[in-house]
Amino acid sequence: MDTDPTPPRLRLTLAYDGTPWRGWQTLSGGGAVQDALDAALAKVADGPVRSQGSGRTDAGVHALGQVAHAIVPHPHRLPPEAWVRALNAHLPPTIRVLHASLQHGFHARFDAIGKVYRYRIWRSDILHPLEVNRAWHVYGPLDADLLRRGASLLEGRHDFSRLSANRAGSTALPATPDPLHAVRTLHRVTLHTDPAQPLWELEFEGDGFLYKMVRMLVGSLVHIARGRAPLAWLEDLLQHPQDGIKSNQSAPAAGLYLVRVLYADEPHPRSADPQPAGSKRAGPDASSPAQGV
């Protein structure tokens, strides 16, 4: 029997096309995905509501499985499936609520134990029009074996100070670095290829991600795969995280997707999700245990 006297929180899973939006987090002047969601929540709840997301995504970044929660008045007045229908009726077509539930004490950000991101690379001389703002168009020679070898170096627990960005835009490292601030564990970095189409997909699963970290990882891997830097350059960025400057390689936002936010009460994707056809592990499983981008 449920004895929790506090009302349950509304837990939402969302997908969105990031192209027209200024990122997830609410901004002065509007234009963020969170602004649109909060406006829809206010209409359905008939009063102001502020949502909380699992983390930020930047302008142009897409989501297949962003998670948010909201404290709404009288949450039981609608069943979860009705919340989905009502919110989607008030959201623009580039944002959709995929699932809703009522859960006591759930916090979209603090309960998350990890995330999965996917980055799409279009490997043809001609960018298909339906891939505009959906993938990074990389033409010319690209060595898949070198990319996989670089990806395997990223797996495990590392200080990613030189492979993530400063929000101020500087490439310099902090004068007095926090030794744990940029330490994250990547459980897997996988390259999926399909011989039937010129599409490569890099997938990253980790316990957390720093600002622009995935885009800088992808940019650095492509830099190596183009033959413009050796694998030793990436090793140096990882092994000497407080020396020198940050990597200056960053992939465009349009190819990046937040696939899933991981929670302890849900099946783990490494055991629940099938491997796509044509995929190949980038390296061995990390042994380390299990924040935008």
Following DSSP, what letter does each residue of 193-241 receive, concatenated?
Answer: E-TTSSEEEEEEEES---TTHHHHHHHHHHHHHTTSS-HHHHHHHHH-T
Is pLDDT at 132 greater than 80 in this prediction? yes
| CB-CB contact of 238 with 158 (8 Å) | yes
More confident residue, 178 or 94: 94
| CB-CB contact of 58 with 67 (8 Å) | no
Termini Cα distance of the chain: 40
CA angle 51, 120, 259 (to 5 degrees): 30
CATH 3.30.70.580 matches 9-103 = yes
Following DSSP, what letter does each residue of 1-41 receive, concatenated?
Answer: -----SPPEEEEEEEE--TTSS-SS--TT--SHHHHHHHHH
Domain ranges within the chain, ordered by starting residue:
9-103, 114-265
More confident residue, 268 or 280: 268
Helix (H, G, I), strand (E, B) or coil at 69: strand
Name the catalytic one among 17, 35, 46, 58. Answer: 58
Give the right CATH number for 114-265 from 3.90.1150.10, 3.40.50.300, 3.30.70.660, 1.20.1300.10: 3.30.70.660
Among 86-90, 127-131, 287-291, name the one with the lowest average pLDDT.
Answer: 287-291
| CB-CB contact of 148 with 280 (8 Å) | yes
pLDDT tens-digit map of 52-93:
999 999 999 999 999 999 999 888 889 999 999 999 999 999
pLDDT value for 81 = 97
Give me the mean pLDDT over the 12-41 stretch.
Answer: 97
Task: Label residue 30 left, alpha or beta by phi (over 0 means left) and psi (-120 to 50 means alpha).
Answer: left
pLDDT value for 284 = 32
Distances (CA, A) of 114 to 30, 140, 174, 208, 258: 28, 34, 26, 5, 11
271 — pLDDT class (breaks 50, 70, 90): very low
Helix (H, G, I), strand (E, B) or coil at 43: helix
Give me the mean pLDDT over the 168-184 stretch.
Answer: 69
Closest CA to 158 of 256, 234, 54, 268: 234
Among 83-97, 128-142, 165-179, name the one with the lowest average pLDDT.
Answer: 165-179
179 — pLDDT class (breaks 50, 70, 90): low
Instruction: Name the token pair of 288.
Output: 């380390």
CA angle 32, 38, 54 (to 5 degrees): 70
Is pLDDT at 31 greater than 60 in this prediction? yes
Give me the mean pLDDT over the 231-244 stretch.
Answer: 95
Q: Identify residue 243 by its one-letter amino acid code.
A: D
- Indicate if 265 belongs to the active site: no
